[in-house]
Amino acid sequence: MNIYDMTLHQLRKMLSEGDITVQEIYSSFAGRIEEVESKVGAFVNLASDIAELQAHKAADRWSEGRNVTPITGLPVAIKDNISLAGVPNTCSSKMLKNYIPPYNATVVEKLAEDGALFIGKTNLDEFAMGSSTETSALKITRNPWNLDYVPGGSSGGSAAAVAAGESPAALGSDTGGSIRQPASFCGVVGMKPTYGRVSRYGLVAFAGSLDQIGPITRDVHDCAIMMNALSGHDICDSTSADVPIPDHTTGLKQDIRGLRIGLPGELFHEGIDASIREAVYAAVDLLTGMGAECVELSMPHLEYSVPVYYILATAEAGSNMARYDGVQYGYRASGAEDILDMYIRTRSEGLGTEVKRRIMLGTYMLSSGYYDAFYLKAQKVRTLIKNDFDRAFTRVDLLLSPVTPTTAFKAGKRADDPLQMYLSDICTIPANLAGLPAMSIPCGFDNGLPVGMQIIGKPFDEITMLRAAYAYEQSTDWHKRRAVITG
């Protein structure tokens, strides 16, 4: 097996046993990037100088046995809406193409303290608004399993980098499915933690009541390792929860006998491809055979999740995007006659079609005369959706569903059909509205493209979710498969 095909925990074991060096690990992934990046297009900026310096420091830590953690000396890719000091934080937008943050996001700071190597910044849908990474103003990212297909979005670059062997782990952000959907499309593991579990300080805001940073990895064990590194209260983030931080790896090897898993009928509806339903139901059968009890249940308000999300998310996005006006930082249009003309030109030229569409939708939702009819009503329905989850979790420990209605689709197929693109997240949005932890794990293939299964947990109970995911994963070999990149 190539070094770049290995997981975090495999690399960590080899380092601890002296079978490999930090420099060999870095060189392998750097070489893999050189080999396939021109085909995949996962990165918008590489951070070679930073990573090489970090590799030297990590090697010293290993040789001295000083402050060695499970990720010391191991590469991590960072979605390009998360601040890494000294490296452009573009959000894949013309508006921020030349913006270089002077500070690290809290999650970046945590990983740096643990000795990770920041191999580069990954592509995304512009300002994380999209489900295919096609709205990026900077480049095209392709699915490593078939380069004619999209990797999903908005964290498509992060998922593609992990699936292509360009990094063993990556950071993404998830507002309505932006970690889980690309993880599903690319056949890797992706987790959205409970809202407040991981600091959002240094994440460029899309919709503050929905955004969460989380890991994308090759397997569940690596996901648990990353969660240990990322979790914790942060005084710089007012939404960060001051709750105990568990060791997310402790429950991985516990059996799942007696675990009650709910199957919400609303997430298995007729709009889900038959092949995906079959793959998820096969996983249900396997979990049942391992001692879990799987029960069907109804959560009637989930059917309103997509319209509720696109009211609330666009309203928050419209407010957050007001700061990009060409005055303080970022792109400024030239040739303006006055300040109003400068505002108009800057935002017209600096922002893409999808971002402008969401700003306009959000402005409408918050406008006088429509606030009560749309925004306020959506907030009330959001509460009803959360109540559905609360009731479900009095009966079950976890919920299980497909991640997406289809496998990855061909590039360009939905670019001119926003509604179909928005429906890509129909199964993932509810967990964001309720602030719950949720993850995608591979559960099959259809026509050579990965299928993902979603597990949703109770608030701050990522451990039970990881326990079930790990039990399923160890009984299959989907996570061991690697994309063969041709073309």
- Cβ atoms 50, 128 nearer than 8 A: no
Residue 307: exposed, middle, or buried by beta-carbon count in 10 A (0-12, 13-18, 19+)? middle
- Cβ atoms 352, 415 nearer than 8 A: no
CA distance 14 to 70: 12
Q: DSSP alpha helices (H): ranges in 179-304?
A: 180-186, 220-230, 274-289
Q: What are phi and psi of 74, to 5 degrees?
A: -110, 140
Active site residue 79: yes
Closest CA to 461 of 442, 438, 479, 430: 438
- Cβ atoms 108, 84 nearer than 8 A: yes
The active-site residue out of 28, 93, 154, 184 is 154
CA distance 228 to 248: 6
204: DSSP letter? P
Residue 19: exposed, middle, or buried by beta-carbon count in 10 A (0-12, 13-18, 19+)? exposed
Residue 263: exposed, middle, or buried by beta-carbon count in 10 A (0-12, 13-18, 19+)? middle
Q: What are phi and psi of 257, to 5 degrees?
A: -60, 130
The active-site residue out of 28, 79, 132, 155 is 79
Active site residue 83: no
- Cβ atoms 119, 55 nearer than 8 A: no
Active site residue 154: yes
Q: Is 148 helix (H, G, I), strand (E, B) or coil?
A: coil
The active-site residue out of 93, 178, 184, 401 is 178
Q: Could you please report the per-residue DSSP string of 291-354?
A: T-EEEEE--GGGGGHHHHHHHHHHHHHHHHGGG-SSSSSS---SS-SSHHHHHHHHHHHHS-HH
Name the residue with tokens 């096609």.
134
5: DSSP letter? G
Report CA-CA distances (Å) from 126 to 8, 14, 17, 62, 323.
29, 38, 43, 39, 16
- Cβ atoms 176, 432 nearer than 8 A: yes
Name the residue with tokens 């749309």.
374
Cβ-based neighbours of 464, under 8 Å, separated by 6 or more:
251, 259, 397, 398, 457, 458
Residue 486: exposed, middle, or buried by beta-carbon count in 10 A (0-12, 13-18, 19+)? exposed
- Cβ atoms 226, 75 nearer than 8 A: no
Residues carrying an active site annotation: 79, 154, 178
